[in-house]
A and B are shown apart, each in its own frame.
Chain A
Amino acid sequence: MQVNRREFLKLSGVSAAGAAVVLFADERKALAQDLKEHRITKAKEVPTVCPHCSVGCGMIAYVKEGELLQLEGNPDSPISEGSLCPKGAASMQFAYDAVGKANPLRQLKAKYRKPGATAWEEIDLEKALDMIAERVKETRDKSFVATNKDGLTVNRNEGLAHLGSACIDNEECYLVTKLMRSLGVVYLEHHARI
C-alpha cells in the first residue's frame, strides 16, 4: 500500500481529529484507542549500522515489499540506544529522498570518459570491467619489477596505485588488500591517513 503524503496525513489526520466532527461536537472521543496503521507498523525491520562516522550507531531500515519506507535508530543498540545524529538520520536519502522518490544525484549507470573528452558517455558495465582488467594487466606487465638489482625476488608493481576506502566494509577491504598485494601493488592506501 504505497502511502503518499496526502493519504498519510489523512490517516494521521483521521487519527488526530478523532470522532466525526459535527457542527456542535459535544465530546471528542479518545483519539488513539485503536492503533492507527501507519507507514511502518507492518514493515520489515532490517538492522544495519550507520555508514558515516565510526561510532557505529545501530540503525533500522523499515522495508515493505522491497520498498524502503523509513530509517531510524535501533533502540536495542547499546551504543546509540535508538539515537542517530543528523548524518545518520538522513541516511535514507542515500537511496530515496522521500518514499518512492530516488535521490536524483545518485549515479546508477557506468560511465566512461575518453581521453580529451569534455563529457561522460555511457558504457556497458561488463564491457567497462573488461576494459579495466585489461588496463590493470597492461600497466602491471609494463611496470613490473620481478627482482631487484641484488637478484632478490621483490614482485613489485609500481605502475598501479589503489586508494580507498575507510567507507567500505571489512570484507571489501580484505578483498582489496588480497587482490592488490597479489598484483604486487605497493601504492595501496585509504582515508586513514588524510
Chain B
Amino acid sequence: MPGLGTSFGRGAMTTSFWDIPNADVVVFMGSNAAENHPISFKWFLRAKQKGAKIIVVDPRFTRTASKADMWLPFRSGSDIAVLGGLINYAITHNKIHRDYVVKYTNASLLVNPNFKFEEGLFSGWDAQTKKYNQATWSFQTGPDGALLRDDTLTNPATVYQHIKRIYGEYTSERVSEISGISVEDFNKFAEIVTSTGQAGKSAVFAYAMGWTQHTKGVQNIRCSTLLQMLLGNVGVPGGGIAALRGHANVQGATDLAVLYHDLPGYLGQPTEAHKTLAEFLDKTTTKQSYWINKPKFMVSLLKAWYGKAATKANDFAYDYIPKMAGNATYSHYDIFQSVLDGKVEGLLCMGQNPAVGSANAKKVHAALAKLKWLVHVDLFDNETGEFWKLDGMDASAIDTEIFFLPAAGPLEKEGSFTNSHRLLQWKHKAIEPLGESRSDGWYINELGKRLKKLYASSTAAKDAPIRDLVWEYDHPEHPDDFDHLKVLKEINGYDMTTGKPVAGFGALKDDGTTACGCWIYSGVYPEEGVNKADARKRGAPNREDGWTEAKKDGSADYLHLGWAFAWPANRRILYNRASADPQGKTWGKVPLVWWDDAGKKWAGCDVPDMLPVEPGKVHAAGVPGDTPFIMKAQGMGGIWGPLADGPLPVHYEPVESPIQNPLYKQSTVPNARTFGSEHDKFGTTAEFPYVVTTYRLTEHQTSGVMTRTLGFLAEAFARPFVEISRELAQEQGIRNGGLVEVSSARGKVKVQAMVTNRVKPLKMGAKLVHVIGLPIHWGPKSGHVQGDIANTLTPQAIDVNVQIQESKVFLGNVKKA
C-alpha cells in the first residue's frame, strides 16, 4: 500500500477491470493473471481483442504468457533494473508526457541541495541505527514557505533531473546484464511501452505478489508508478496500476486495518511519539491535501469504538488505543520471532495457515510449538492447527494448548468482500452453517461479550477500553449469528444524536457528534435499510458479445456505477481528473472526467476524483483545480516519494543473489530486516547456485487448505512439482516426473521434477544463471492431496516499509532424490 499511497495518495488499485479494454499496452510484471485471477484475464483479453499489445515479463512462461504477444524471461529480483531501464528509455528517447509530468507530478519541484545519491546510498544514512535521516530529502521552499519549482525541468535540483541522472545508468546493456533480458528484446519492449507516453494512448501495469514479495517490494511498485506518471498513464482510461490482490478480502482487511501499523481508513497507528490526539493528527497528516479532514475521521472512529465514553475531555478516549513503541515493529514475522523470544504467549489465528503460507516454515513451526495457547478458527484441519503432528515434531514435548473452532463456509454467512478494485459487494447467506460451525465474526462477537463480562467488575484504568467498548452485535433473530448489517452501518458511520447513517464522509464531524468505523467506506450504507454494497444495477451491454464498452461520447455506463459500492465515494477509477488536461478538457481517446463549464462542476462517466474547484483556482484544502492527486500535497503525483529506504526506487540485489550488484557498492537494500534466530540461515551461490522463485497456480489458493480440500480442485492439480529448464535437467541428469530434492539454506523439499522449455537459463552478461520455481500450495497434513511445504525453503528477509518477506527470489539447489 505505501507504494501506491506514497505516489498517488491512496494504497489501492487505481483502475478497475472494466476500464482495462481501453488500454493500448498491457504489461504483466509480477503478476500471472491468467492463472491467479482468471476472470480478470477476460478483461485483459478484451483489451487484446481491441488491438492492445500484451507483454509478460516473468521468469516462467506461464499460462498468461501463452496468450501474450511477447514474453520476456528475466531474473526474478531485478524488477527495478528493468523498470529503471524503461524510465531511462522514456527520458532519453523523449517519450514522456511532458504536460502531465510538469502539471500533475512533483517532478518540477526543487530538492534540497544537500541531497546526494552515491554507490547505492542516499544522503542521511546512519550505518549504526540502519536508518535514513530524511532531512536532506525535503523540497526547497521559498521565503513564504511555498515550494520552489522549475517547470522547464532543466534546473539540476529538480526531481526530474535527479531521476534523469540516477536512471541514466540503467542503459539497455546494463539492464540486460542484471536481468538476463537480451538488449534487443529489451529495446523492443521499451519502444512498445513508452509509445504510450502521449495523450490518447495508455498502458496498464498489472502486478501482484511477484512485485510485493521482495525486500524491495514497495519500491518495485513505486518504480512502476514513476514510469506510469512519466508516461501520463495514471487516471486515464486504460491506464493505471492494477494491483491484483491475492485473497477475496485482502483489500477489505487492509482497509479495515487488521494490521499492526494502521487504523481503519489508513489513519495510521499512534506511537509513543504521538502523546496526544492533537499531536498524532498534526504529525501524521499530509498538509495541503484532502487529508486535512483527518481529525473528523479519527474522532468519528473513536466515537464508533467507545461511544459516550469518548469525550472531548478525555481526548475522545485516544489513550484507549495502544501506542506502539517508537522503534518496534509488530508485523507478521515479528510475531513468530517474539513467540520464540517468549514475549507473545497467546495467538488467535483465524482463517489463515501460516505453517504453510509463511516464509521459513520450520521457524514458524518452532514458534507455534513455543506458544502457551493457540486458538485456530478454520473450516478444515490444517498444518497450523496440527503443527504438533508434523514429522520432526515431538507432540509430547509440545505444551501448546490448542482450541480448534469450526468456521462456517463462504455460502453459510452473509457479509461483504472488497475486491481488487475497491468494490464492496454484498453476499447473501445461502444455507445454514454446517454442524456446529459458526462465522468468524460470531466467534469475535462472543469473545468480546465474554471479555466485557470478565472485566465488568474491574475498575482499573487499563481495563477501561474494554468496559467502555461499544459491543452490541447480537443478531435479533439468529442466536448463532451476529448482525452483519449493524456492523456495516457502524462502518459507514452514523449521527450520534439521531442514530441515522451519514450519507458520506463529507458529513463526518470532529466534535464527537458523528461516529464512523472506516471513513473511506462511508456512503456504503447511506440511509437506514439502503445497502449500496447490494446494489445490482449494471450498465447496459452495448456490444454484440454482451459486455459494456466505453464510448467516445462518454455516454456508456461502462464502469457500472449502479453495481455495488466502491470506496471512496463509489469512484471506480482513481485520479480520474488526470484523464483531462489542466484546463479540464478530455485528453484520452474516450472521455472519463471533464470540466463541465456550463454546470461549473466536474462531470464524467465516473464519480470525479476531484474537489469542487475550477481549473486554475485553489480549493480551501490547498488542492488546486488543475491537479488530480487530491490526497497528495497540492494534488501533485509523488514521483519523489520519501520512504524508509529512499525517496526513489533504485536497483538492489535480493538478500540471496547470484551476483554482486553491478550498479552500486551497496549491493542489497541497506535497511532490509532479517532476524537472528537459529532458523534464519542464508546461503551463498557456492552451496546454492540456482535462483529459486515460488508462485501460485489457478487450481489452488495459497496454502491449499481452501482448495486441496475440495475434491474437484484436488483432482485438477494433484501433484506438487518443481519446474526446471531442460538444460538444468540435462546437467543434473533429472528426468521429467522424477523425484528430486530441492534445498535452500533453510531446509529441503522432495517433489517431482517438471522438466520444461517454459523455464530457461538466463544469460546475465557473461554469467549463465539457472532459474527454478515451486508452487506453494501443498502441505503434508490437509486436504485430499498432500505434499511437502515449499515455504520451508523461503527466507524471512523483510522489506522495511511493509515487512513483507522475499519469497519470490532466493538461492537454492536441486538434485536427484
A193 and B354 alpha carbons, distance in the complex (Å): 11
A71 and B323 alpha carbons, distance in the complex (Å): 46
Contact A134 B454 (CB under 8 A): yes
Contact B36 A48 (CB under 8 A): no
From A3-11, A34-42, A117-125, give the one contacting chain B.
A117-125
Contact A112 B403 (CB under 8 A): yes
Contact A107 B344 (CB under 8 A): no
Within B10-49, which residues are at the interface with A (CB < 8 Å)?
A: 17-18, 36-40, 42
Q: Is B50 an interface residue (CB 8 A)?
A: no
Task: Among B248, B396, B413, point to the contact of A166 (Cβ < 8 A).
Answer: B248
The size of the chain A interface, using a CB distance under 8 A, is: 118
Within A81-97, which residues are at the interface with B (CB < 8 Å)?
A: 81, 83-95, 97
Q: A95-B412, A139-B345 are in contact. Are A110 and B436 (CB under 8 A)?
A: yes
Q: 7 tightest CB-CB pairs across the interface, nearest first?
A: A108-B435, A56-B419, A169-B415, A165-B351, A164-B350, A51-B410, A61-B430
Q: Is B99 an interface residue (CB 8 A)?
A: no
Q: A166-B249, A174-B487 are in contact. Are A113 and B388 (CB under 8 A)?
A: yes
A95 and B506 alpha carbons, distance in the complex (Å): 42
A27 and B304 alpha carbons, distance in the complex (Å): 73
Task: Among A67, A81, A107, A166, point to the contact of B437 (Cβ < 8 A).
Answer: A107
15 A-B pairs, CB-CB below 8 angstroms?
A: A47-B536, A54-B420, A56-B420, A61-B431, A87-B701, A90-B712, A93-B711, A105-B782, A113-B401, A137-B455, A160-B347, A162-B349, A169-B413, A176-B350, A187-B344
Q: Is B159 an interface residue (CB 8 A)?
A: no
Besides A168-B253, A194-B357, 17 new A-B residue pairs in contact (Cβ under 8 A), listed by A number: A49-B426, A54-B247, A54-B250, A68-B430, A71-B411, A78-B18, A93-B711, A105-B381, A116-B396, A130-B450, A153-B323, A155-B321, A172-B415, A179-B451, A189-B330, A192-B250, A193-B332
Contact A78 B346 (CB under 8 A): no
With both beta carbons as reference points, the residue of chain B lying nearest to A53 in the complex is identified as: B37
What is the interface of chain A mostly: helix, strand, loop, or mixed? mixed
0/1 interface trace, chain A 138-171, chain B, CB 8 Å (1 if under): 0100111010101011111111111111111111
Q: A136-B447, A168-B249, A171-B484 are in contact. Are A161 and B348 (CB under 8 A)?
A: yes
Q: Which residues of A contact B320 (CB under 8 A)?
A: 155, 182
Contact A174 B256 (CB under 8 A): yes
Q: Smallest CB–CB gap between B81 and chain A, Å?
A: 25
Q: Which residues of B contact A136 (CB under 8 A)?
A: 346, 348, 447, 451
With both beta carbons as reference points, the residue of chain A lying nearest to B442 in the complex is identified as: A172
Q: A94-B379, A162-B350, A177-B258 are in contact. Are A194 and B411 (CB under 8 A)?
A: no
Q: Is B277 an interface residue (CB 8 A)?
A: no
Contact B258 A175 (CB under 8 A): no
Contact B710 A103 (CB under 8 A): yes
Contact B784 A105 (CB under 8 A): yes
Contact A108 B454 (CB under 8 A): no
Q: Is B780 an interface residue (CB 8 A)?
A: no
A86 and B272 alpha carbons, distance in the complex (Å): 48
Q: A118-B395, A165-B351 are in contact. Are A93 and B325 (CB under 8 A)?
A: no
Contact B423 A56 (CB under 8 A): yes
With both beta carbons as reference points, the residue of chain A lying nearest to B400 in the complex is identified as: A115
Contact B253 A112 (CB under 8 A): no
A137 and B434 alpha carbons, distance in the complex (Å): 30
Q: A170-B488, A173-B258, A185-B322 are in contact. Are A108 and B437 (CB under 8 A)?
A: yes
Q: Which residues of B contact A118 (CB under 8 A)?
A: 388-389, 395-396
Q: Smallest CB–CB gap between B394 and chain A, Å?
A: 10
Task: Among B440, B538, B803, point to the contact of A165 (Cβ < 8 A).
Answer: B440
Contact A175 B444 (CB under 8 A): yes
With both beta carbons as reference points, the residue of chain B lying nearest to A120 in the complex is identified as: B404
A6 and B340 alpha carbons, distance in the complex (Å): 57
Contact A169 B441 (CB under 8 A): yes
Q: A54-B37, A63-B430, A93-B710 are in contact. Are A162 and B406 (CB under 8 A)?
A: no
Contact A78 B248 (CB under 8 A): no
Contact A191 B702 (CB under 8 A): yes
Contact A193 B249 (CB under 8 A): no
A114 and B388 alpha carbons, distance in the complex (Å): 11
Q: Which residues of A contact B37 (CB under 8 A)?
A: 53-55
Q: Smallest CB–CB gap between A54 and chain B, Å?
A: 4
Contact B250 A156 (CB under 8 A): no
Contact A46 B253 (CB under 8 A): no
Contact A110 B417 (CB under 8 A): no
Q: Is B675 an interface residue (CB 8 A)?
A: no
Q: Which residues of B contact A49 (CB under 8 A)?
A: 248, 417, 419, 425-427
0/1 interface trace, chain B 318-353, chain A, CB 8 Å (1 if under): 011111110010111011001100011111111110
The residue among A83, A105, A185 with the most chain B CB atoms within 10 A of its own CB is A105
Within B537-579, which residues are at the interface with A (CB < 8 Å)?
A: 538-539, 546-548, 560, 563
The size of the chain B interface, using a CB distance under 8 A, is: 165
Q: Is A19 an interface residue (CB 8 A)?
A: no
Contact B244 A85 (CB under 8 A): no
A155 and B331 alpha carbons, distance in the complex (Å): 18
Q: Which residues of B contact A125 (CB under 8 A)?
A: 405, 436, 438
Contact A54 B321 (CB under 8 A): no
- A-B CB pair tally, cutoff 8 Å: 492
Contact B348 A162 (CB under 8 A): yes
Q: Which residues of B contact A95 (CB under 8 A)?
A: 409, 411-412, 431, 434
A139 and B345 alpha carbons, distance in the complex (Å): 7
A63 and B432 alpha carbons, distance in the complex (Å): 11
Task: Among A105, A116, A148, A164, point to the contact of B272 (Cβ < 8 A).
Answer: A148
A157 and B348 alpha carbons, distance in the complex (Å): 14
With both beta carbons as reference points, the residue of chain A lying nearest to B791 in the complex is identified as: A194
Q: Is B239 an interface residue (CB 8 A)?
A: no
The residue among B256, B465, B469, B784 with the most chain A CB atoms within 10 A of its own CB is B256
The residue among A52, A125, A134, A175 with the most chain B CB atoms within 10 A of its own CB is A175
Contact B351 A128 (CB under 8 A): no
0/1 interface trace, chain B 240-276, chain A, CB 8 Å (1 if under): 0000111111111111111110011000000010010
Q: A54-B244, A110-B403 are in contact. Are A158 and B252 (CB under 8 A)?
A: no
Q: Which residues of B contact A167 (CB under 8 A)?
A: 247-249, 351-352, 706
Within A14-52, which residues are at the interface with B (CB < 8 Å)?
A: 46-52
Q: Smallest CB–CB gap between A2 and chain B, Å?
A: 15
Q: Which residues of A contact B172 (CB under 8 A)?
A: none
Q: A81-B546, A136-B346 are in contact. Are A155 and B436 (CB under 8 A)?
A: no
Q: Which residues of B contact A132 (CB under 8 A)?
A: 375, 403, 447, 450
Within A58-88, which residues are at the interface with B (CB < 8 Å)?
A: 58, 61, 63, 66-68, 71, 76-81, 83-88
Contact B547 A81 (CB under 8 A): yes
A162 and B351 alpha carbons, distance in the complex (Å): 11
Q: Is B130 an interface residue (CB 8 A)?
A: no
Contact B42 A83 (CB under 8 A): yes
A148 and B273 alpha carbons, distance in the complex (Å): 12
Q: Which residues of A contact B122 (CB under 8 A)?
A: none
Q: A87-B713, A90-B710, A190-B259 are in contact. Are A76 and B247 (CB under 8 A)?
A: no
Q: Which residues of A contact B699 (CB under 8 A)?
A: 86-87
A143 and B763 alpha carbons, distance in the complex (Å): 54
Q: Which residues of A contact B743 (CB under 8 A)?
A: none
Q: Which residues of A contact B698 (CB under 8 A)?
A: 85-87
A67 and B40 alpha carbons, distance in the complex (Å): 31
A181 and B547 alpha carbons, distance in the complex (Å): 44
Q: Smallest CB–CB gap between B217 and chain A, Å?
A: 9
Q: Which residues of B contact A169 (CB under 8 A)?
A: 249, 252, 413, 415-417, 427, 439-441, 484
A134 and B321 alpha carbons, distance in the complex (Å): 22
Q: Is B80 an interface residue (CB 8 A)?
A: no
Contact B418 A170 (CB under 8 A): yes
Contact A78 B352 (CB under 8 A): no
The residue among A112, A120, A158, A190 with the most chain B CB atoms within 10 A of its own CB is A190
Task: Among B398, B437, B546, point to the contact of A116 (Cβ < 8 A).
Answer: B398
Q: Which residues of A contact B426 (CB under 8 A)?
A: 49
A57 and B354 alpha carbons, distance in the complex (Å): 26
Contact A129 B435 (CB under 8 A): no
Contact B447 A115 (CB under 8 A): no
